[in-house]
Amino acid sequence: MDPPRGEHLVINGFDITDATYRMKLALKNQPWKLSLEDYLHQILASTSVLLLTPCAFSDKIQSFFEQENWTAASAAIENIYKIQQPCLPMTLQPGFFRSLSFAHALLIHFSRICFDEPDQGVYLRWTNEITLEAKQLSCNMRPDLTITKTVGLKWAKSLGYGEAKPAARETDHYLVCQDLIKVALFCKHSLDEQLMDGVLGIHIVGQIKVPDSIKGLSGFIPELPSILKVLGVFDSVCVCSLTPDVIARRRAPTLPSKTFQHIISESKSRKRSCHLRRRRT
């Protein structure tokens, strides 16, 4: 494996890029296939994707990261891309939802969670055909959904990918992790080919409860900061880079799909913990 090219990401004197590279190199010394649920971070690192989970620090990565470095890296990425929680009132006053302008704005924000903006040529599609990225990866993977920008009558750029599974499958940790890897691979390939600042990955497990009236919005308030945060990141980060030469220098190799599958064990066990499943909703 060639050393990483371009500028390294260094946080508080700790080289994040080098640590990720060492995670990749460690896989070469593994005498057997890895269980997907236990080694999710390393498996993603093998294809040059660092999964930052600030609230979950796997014991499998302690040889490469101290917990303080892990937390600092997550905070730094949020700061670089200005990923901040929107300010919303913590206490609702009587008559709060009587403001039609606020309720209208709230519904607009919620409707945009579907990322459909025809005036801007942006559409969310539930895909049932193999995408161009899937063909280039030489595999039969396809995302459940894509967010695509058009130019004229043609699909031009992929701004996001997503996988969705029903609540009945949430305890299938192998499948949940497998879906995340699919999203990561599609997003990374899109970043490399389109020279974007970012591509949005959507990973849905379970049900999404949608308010069907103004009256039902009060119960939806706790979820608004997360929704507005995602929308803000999508609008500001999922764009063509103003410095494409810098993005091009940062390209890191992606393992071919067949090689990638060789390092993953096909064995499943619901008893294995899953770092993606920290709370029940």
**Torsion sign (Cα): 222, 146, 240, 176:** positive
Which residues, including other chains, have CB under 8 Å from residue 51's CB and lie 6 or more apart?
40, 41, 44, 45, 180, 184
pLDDT level of residue 39 (50, 70, 90 thresholds): confident
Residue from 202, 225, 220 nearest 210 by CA: 220
In this model, does residue 97 exceed pLDDT 50? no
CA-CA distance, 165 to 183, in Å (whole number)? 13
Lowest mean pLDDT among 33-42, 152-161, 218-227, 231-240: 218-227
pLDDT level of residue 275 (50, 70, 90 thresholds): low
Lowest mean pLDDT among 96-100, 149-153, 189-193: 96-100
Residue from 158, 166, 200 nearest 183 by CA: 200
Q: What is the mean pLDDT of residues 146-164?
A: 84
pLDDT level of residue 35 (50, 70, 90 thresholds): confident
Do residues 43 and 174 touch, judged by C-beta distance below 8 A?
no
**Torsion sign (Cα): 46, 135, 139, 123:** positive
DSSP conformation letters of 213-240: SSGGGGGGGGGHHHHHHHHHHHHHHSSB
Q: What is the mean pLDDT of residues 110-139?
A: 62
Give me the residue spans of the domains in the chain: 1-80+255-281, 113-237
The confidence score (pLDDT) of residue 256 equals: 67
Q: What is the mean pLDDT of residues 58-84?
A: 87
Do residues 227 and 113 touch, judged by C-beta distance below 8 A?
yes
For the chain, percent of residues with pLDDT exceeding 70: 72
Q: Which pTM does this prediction carry?
A: 0.77
The confidence score (pLDDT) of residue 1 equals: 64
Q: How far apart are the first and last CA of the chain?
A: 41
The confidence score (pLDDT) of residue 108 equals: 44
Q: What's the mean pLDDT when you consider all of the chain?
A: 76
Greater model confidence, 149 or 56: 149
Lowest mean pLDDT among 171-175, 194-198, 213-217, 235-239: 213-217
The confidence score (pLDDT) of residue 65 equals: 92
Strand 154-165 vs strand 200-205: parallel, antiparallel, or unpaired?
A: parallel
In this model, does residue 222 exceed pLDDT 80? no
**How many angstroms from the chain centroid is the CA of residue 192?**
15
Which residues, including other chains, have CB under 8 Å from residue 192's CB and lie 6 or more apart?
251, 254
pLDDT level of residue 138 (50, 70, 90 thresholds): very low
What tokens does 216 get? 């039902």
